[in-house]
Structure 1
Amino acid sequence: MQRKRTGFTVLAGSLAIMLALSACGSGKNNNSSSSAAPSSSAPAGSSSSGNANEAAKMSIMWWGADERHQATLAALDVYTKQNPNVTFTSEYLAWDAYWDKLPTLAASKTITDVLQMDAAYISEYVAKGVLEDLTDIELSGIVDPAVIENLKIGGKLYGIPLSQNAQGVAFNKPELEAAGISLPQKNWTWDDFFAFAREAKSKLPDGKYGISDTSNAWDWYNWYQTGNGEEPLMSSDGKTFTLNKDLFMKYQGEFASLRKEKAVPPPDQVLAFKENDPTADPMASGVVMTRGATTGSVSALETLMPGKVDVVNIPNGPSGGGWAQSTIFLAVSADSKHKDEAKKFVKWFISDPEAGKTLGLTRGIPISPEIYKSLEDTLQPKEKLGKKVYDVSVEKALPFYSIAAGYTEWVDAFKSTMEGVMFDQTSLEDAYEKLNKLGQEIAAKNK
């Protein structure tokens, strides 16, 4: 049975977000890491500050690339200038380091006053009781009401959406053109994707490839399965698990063939790639002509490869492909001593014109139409590229499928099992049996 495709448009309010209870494999595109004045060593406290003039030293943490870090630090300075009673201590990390650290902070009730949240994690932290209810923040004229409704968990809002985001594929346009390789086109299919890899193999010099090997990435396979009309691997409540054997074997079989044909990098090289590292990024290093990129992350790649990056959507199946919607938020700690000031700040973050100018598109397309309109004429090419990721993806976008409750173990198993396949240590049949068995066991527990 073919799955109905859902389109997403922020102004139309037709977002459909699937928030889950566990880790995210689709946002691992930010790998730069630095920190300043970490603030998580002391508890955030438990009382709410009701005096708007009371001095407040708020702690805040986020993940991202260096461009996002610098823009956010500048925005915090702007807020302090506008609100001299408020200062900040900040901590900023790469994606993996952020989510490695946050569980410890949650367990010890030392989460920062304000923190960045992702669609795939937010329900988990709501369930832990560590995030404040933000439903009382007035967002009329800033965020479409339908968007707000679709982001609520149990009827309450726990994260203020920062931007419209989308998942696409970046590609090295001039190098592909120089080699005479057909460029990826909007709404290309999975068949086109694999054919592109083989054409690139025939025309690029040894050591260069059209695509990387994403056979160990659960989200890429999930896009393939849902794009071909099947349910996502795990339902949003985690009670149903669907690993379509025919599609799994076909998708993984294509990558097995590409490895034999040497049309993708060898496994050890694939596992050594590090996005946004000038020498280790698959594209920036010149090894691979394409890689996944989101609206919020593609500007970092363009910075590394100025004038060389173009974008296209995730390959489509008959039901569509990829996603385009809000996936990144600001949340407030339920234990904050400065809840009122924190709520004021998160609203300011998405609505103040000076904040919008300072932050630009470092977290994607601003959620406020007015902010984006004010920026449009001044955007740099790399920022307009972020908007293009959304534009080429939204037409056939499917919902954002995040990891459901209890499936972190399965996602880890998918990665390690498929890496075993990549190195010819595990057969595809055995991989399917192992992953399907584990997924069904987790679904049964959730029931």
Structure 2
Amino acid sequence: MRKWTMFTAVTLAAALTLAGCSSGGGAGASNGDQGAKPASADADKKVDTAAPANLKIMWWGPDARHQATLKALELYSQQKPNIKFTPEYLAWDAYWTKLTTLAASKSMTDVLQMDGAYIQDYAKRGLLEDLSDVDLKGIVDPKILDNLKINGKLYGIPLSHNGSGIVFNKTELEAAGIKLPAKDWTWDDFFAFAKEAREKLPKDKYGIGDNSTGWDWFQFYQTSYGKGPVMVDGTKFNLDKDLWFKFQQTYVDFRKNNVIPPAQVQAAFKENDPKADPMASGTTLTRGATVGSVSVLEQLLPGKVAVVNNPTGPSGGGWAQSTIFLSVSSTSKYKAQAKEFVKWFITDKEAGRVLGTTRGIPINDVIYKELEPNLKKTDTIGKDLLDAALGKALPFYPAPPGWEDFVKTYTTEMEAVSFGKQSLEQAYDKIVAKGKDTEAKLSKK
């Protein structure tokens, strides 16, 4: 049974509109095992990895990542003249649209960048090669690898660390005399912080935003109390009624008492937009962030921000693990050469210097230590957030395939509550009905 079941961040809300969000375990997981059997480790060992190969490789990301990756590929071909590359790089949405098409025609590239929200789905369909025989001893923490295994097998080589936490405007909080968020703070501490901020800040500034409309933020709350994710193994609906009403009633009370911004502020939220992101504009003094995204707030508010882990419950809080990988297609003709390459990608020091932090904090600590002396605060603040998150971190639970409509329904109904158009009870009934309906549909597949 896999040790991590996923949900979306954070942060990963864009993935919800696509079909690749992953599910945990589940009945379909065995399909991935069957699909991977023809590509056995023994077969790969018989392949001459010095034989010429043209590896097709595909990834998504910004231009800085594209250019760094192209330089790394050139470096690899210099070190191994027998290996050439046919690269393709796209923006996030275009990438998953293209990969869906390639998967349907069984013509995926030899090497492909894979995301934590999608890897389970691709693995269970037998589209990814088992990489368990790639020796990562002394390179990647065994605990990280154990958390990433799907039914005991590794389908992606992790490239970087990731995790969730809270970024806060330390400068303004200190100026207002508000007690700063502290490592391993609890939900009670978090809500007390919000009340204190209301007492000490001007009426148009707030300590926290309205986190009641997103299903993922409630899931942070539910999992921190040991009740599991909202979607268990991608097929079972699991919303704890008592916790849900307790959490949501807190925000209802906060809304009445002006502890959180008006509903229209949250409805207009655009991450990292100088005006539409309440923290960037100075309306709120805290916001959820990830290791990979917090650097933008440091750029927008230079020298003002600090980080802390998510609020915790008895079971912990937030998450910290890898969410971006290099995988190998199960249909590749060059599996052995591809496996050599993906290991090189996270171990070669020269490649590490070329790639820098274009995919976040390198998973290989040796590489990160080489880079660290020359990094700016916009780079190191991500490591600060990771260090804060690790101690109490829980598994990463993205929204699995099939739950897209539920996610939309949850947000729609909770926004109606925030605008005073319906009661919590009405919203709960609709959310539960949609959850059970989704569960029933998925159970038939």
TM-score interval (norm. to shorter)? 0.7 to 0.9
The residue number in structure 2 matching 1:158 is 155
Amino acid in structure 1 at the alignment position of 2:347: S
Give the TM-score of the pair, scaled to structure 1.
0.81
User: What residue number does 1:7 align with?
Assistant: none
- Supply the distance in 2 between the matched residues of 1:362 and 1:181 (Cα, whole angstroms): 35
Select 1:398's aligned residue among 394, 411, 421: 394
Amino acid paired to 1:125: Y
> Residue in 1 aligned with 2:165?
168
Q: What's the offset of the Cα at 1:126?
A: 1.4
In structure 2, the CA distance between the partners of 1:232 and 1:106, relative to structure 1 (3 Å rule), is: same
Contact 1:117 1:330 in 2 (8 A): yes
Give matches, 1:43-442, under 5 Å. 52=50, 54=52, 56=54, 58-63=56-61, 68=65, 71-83=68-80, 85-94=83-92, 98-99=95-96, 102-109=99-106, 111-236=108-233, 238-239=235-236, 241-336=237-332, 338-404=334-400, 406-442=402-438
Question: Which amino acid is 1:159 matched to?
Answer: G
| Cα distance in 2 for residues equivalent to 1:87 and 1:279 | 42
Is the 1:19–1:120 contact (alpha carbons within 8 Å) kept by the matching residues of 2?
Answer: no
For residue 4 of structure 2, the aligned residue among 8, 18, 21 is: 18
The alpha-carbon distance between structure 1 residues 51 and 161, as it changes in their structure 2 partners (threshold 3 A), is closer
Give the whole-Å Cα distance in 1 for the aligned partners of 2:217 and 2:286.
14
Give deviations 1:177-224, integer Å, cap 9, x for gaps: 223322211112222222322333333334432222121221210111
Q: Which runs of 5+ in 2 are unaligned?
A: 16-38
Residue type of the alignment partner of 1:157: L
5+ long unaligned stretches in structure 1: 1-15, 32-46
Secondary structure at 2:295's aligned position in 1? helix
Look up the equivalent residue of 1:409 and give its one-letter code: D
Cα distance change on mapping 1:259 and 1:76 into 2, 3 Å = farther
Q: 2:259, 2:70 → 1: CA distance? A: 42
Q: Give a deviation string over 1:303-337, Cα, whole Å, max 9, x none.
A: 23221220001011222211122222111233445
The letter of the residue matching 1:162 is L
Deviations 1:346-405 (A, max 9, x none): 212211112222333443432223223333434332332212112212222222223345
- Secondary structure of 2:231's counterpart equals coil
Q: Which amino acid aligns with 2:301?
A: M
Secondary structure of the residue that 1:258 maps to in structure 2? helix
What's the offset of the Cα at 1:56? Answer: 2.4
- 1:214-239 residue CA offsets vs partner (Å, 9 max, x unmatched): 21221210111121232322222534
CA distance in structure 1 between the partners assigned to 2:183 and 2:173 by the alignment: 16
* Whole-angstrom CA distance in 2 between matches of 1:430 and 1:224: 21
Give the Cα–Cα distance (whole angstroms) in 1 for the partners of residues 221 and 168 of structure 2: 20
* Residue 35 (structure 1) aligns with: none
CA distance in 1: counterparts of 2:242 and 2:178, whole angstroms: 31
Q: Give TM-score scaled by structure 2 length.
A: 0.81
Does the 8 Å CA contact 1:223/1:322 hold for their aligned counterparts?
yes
**Count of residue pairs the alignment pairs up:** 413
Q: For the Cα contact (< 8 Å) 1:169–1:290, is it kept in 2?
A: yes
Maintained 8 Å contact 2:8/2:396: no
Counterparts of 2:415 and 2:73, CA distance in 1:
42
Contact 1:18 1:402 in 2 (8 A): no
Q: 1:242 to 1:112 in 2, by over 3 A?
A: same
The farther-off stretch of 251-260 and 402-411 is 402-411
Secondary structure in 2 aligned to 1:18?
Answer: coil
- Superposition RMSD in Å: 3.2
What's the CA shift for 1:417?
2.0
- Tell me which amino acid in the other structure corresponds to 1:27: T
The 1-side partners of 2:374 and 2:315 are apart by 36
Q: 2:12 aligns with which of 28, 31, 36?
A: 28
Counterpart for residue 443 of structure 2: 446
Q: Give yes or no for contact 1:19–1:122 (8 Å, CA) kept in 2.
A: no
Bigger Cα displacement from structure 2, 96-105 vs 415-424: 96-105
Structure with greater helix percent = 2
Q: Percent identity?
A: 54
User: Is the contact made by 1:62 and 1:91 (CA closer than 8 Å) also made in structure 2?
Assistant: yes
| CA shift in 2, pair 1:413/1:385, >3 Å | same
Which residue does 2:18 correspond to in 1?
none
